[in-house]
Amino acid sequence: MPGANWRAAAGAGAGARRPRGARDREEDGGGLEPAAATRDLLRGTSNMSFEELLELQSQVGTKTYKQLVAGTSPKKQGSRPPIQNACVADKHRPLEMSAKIQVPFLRQVVPISKKVARDPRFDDLSGEYNPEVFDKTYQFLNDIRAKEKELVKKQLKKHRSGEEHEKLQQLLQRMEQQEMAQQERKQQQELHLALKQERRAQAQQGHRPYFLKKSEQRQLALAEKFKELKRSKKLENFLSRKRRRNAGKDRRHLPLSKE
């Protein structure tokens, strides 16, 4: 009967689960009998019931049972892994390069840490930019710029013509433009400060503060600029330059005259 066959084969297969010395002696001498019993057991499993398969698994062990069902050899699976070399590789050993890949002409022998450039204008480590504090801190630069401007004017009087005269003229013009831009920026800061104080006063009185739009702020700045030009008697020159500039823009959009 199939049940008797697998019990006999299981007894023979269980003999494979002996101590290591017994298995070594068995492999040297009579190693064919357990292999033949395993083949008989593998043939008999096709006719076994589920209860008989469970009983076989409990007798021979789960690992051996899976190897028998899969058709692999228990001898190969149960063999000891090769002994690895106990010596650990030294981290300071030279770098090994493959002979199949061409070595580049320039290669990094020693690792170098990458230098990261830091711009103090956009770095949080430098703090937050405050125009009022910046102007108060570097107020001494205005005196230095004024002395440099006087020096350029003296040099310009000495060089009446030539290439040096043109360079000094351009330098003086650039310094005057920077001075005008600084004054305009200062006026805008004063205007923003006045608006801020006005909103604070409205909030203290219990009124809801009104925040001006950017277009309204530009109109206020333009009105202040016209007042300043009128006080300095430069309004006519400013308006004439603006008219010429606008006329040049309009002339570009006109159609070309046919000759």
Instruction: Give DSSP secondary structure letters for the chain.
Output: -HHHHHHHHHHHHHTTSS-HHHHHHHHHS-THHHHHHHHHHHHHGGG--HHHHHHHHHHH-HHHHHHHHHT--HHHHTSPPPPPP-PPPPTTSPPP--TTSPPPSS--SS--PPPPP--TTS-GGG----HHHHHHHTTHHHHHHHHHHHHHHHHHHH--SSHHHHHHHHHHHHHHHHHHHHHHHHHHHHHHHHHHHHHHHHHHTTPPP-PPPHHHHHHHHHHHHHHHHHHTT-HHHHHHHHHHHHHHHHHHHSPPPP-
Q: For residue range 139-197, what is the model confidence (pLDDT) as tens digits? A: 899 999 999 999 999 988 888 888 888 899 999 999 999 998 888 888 888 888 888 88
Contact (CB, 8 A) for 47 and 5: no
What per-residue confidence (pLDDT) applies to 145?
92
**0.75 surpassed by pTM:** no
Q: For residue range 64-89, what is the model confidence (pLDDT) as tens digits? A: 877 777 766 554 444 555 554 545 56
Residue the block writes with tokens 């700045």: 221
What per-residue confidence (pLDDT) applies to 13?
46
What per-residue confidence (pLDDT) applies to 34?
53
- Give the whole-angstrom CA distance, residue 164 versus residue 170: 10
Residue the block writes with tokens 């892994």: 81
Contact (CB, 8 A) for 224 and 190: no
- Give the whole-angstrom CA distance, residue 14 versus residue 41: 11
What per-residue confidence (pLDDT) applies to 144?
94
Which of 32-46, 47-61, 210-224 reaches the highest mean pLDDT?
210-224
Contact (CB, 8 A) for 159 and 196: no
Contact (CB, 8 A) for 186 and 178: no
What per-residue confidence (pLDDT) applies to 150?
92
- Give the whole-angstrom CA distance, residue 257 versus residue 250: 15
Write the CB contacts of 243 (distance below 8 Å, at least 6 apart in sequence): none
Work out the angle between the directed axes of helices 140-158 and 163-204 (0-180°, nearest 10): 150
Residue among 149, 147, 210 nearest 180 (CA) = 149
What per-residue confidence (pLDDT) applies to 107?
76
pLDDT > 70: percent of the chain: 74
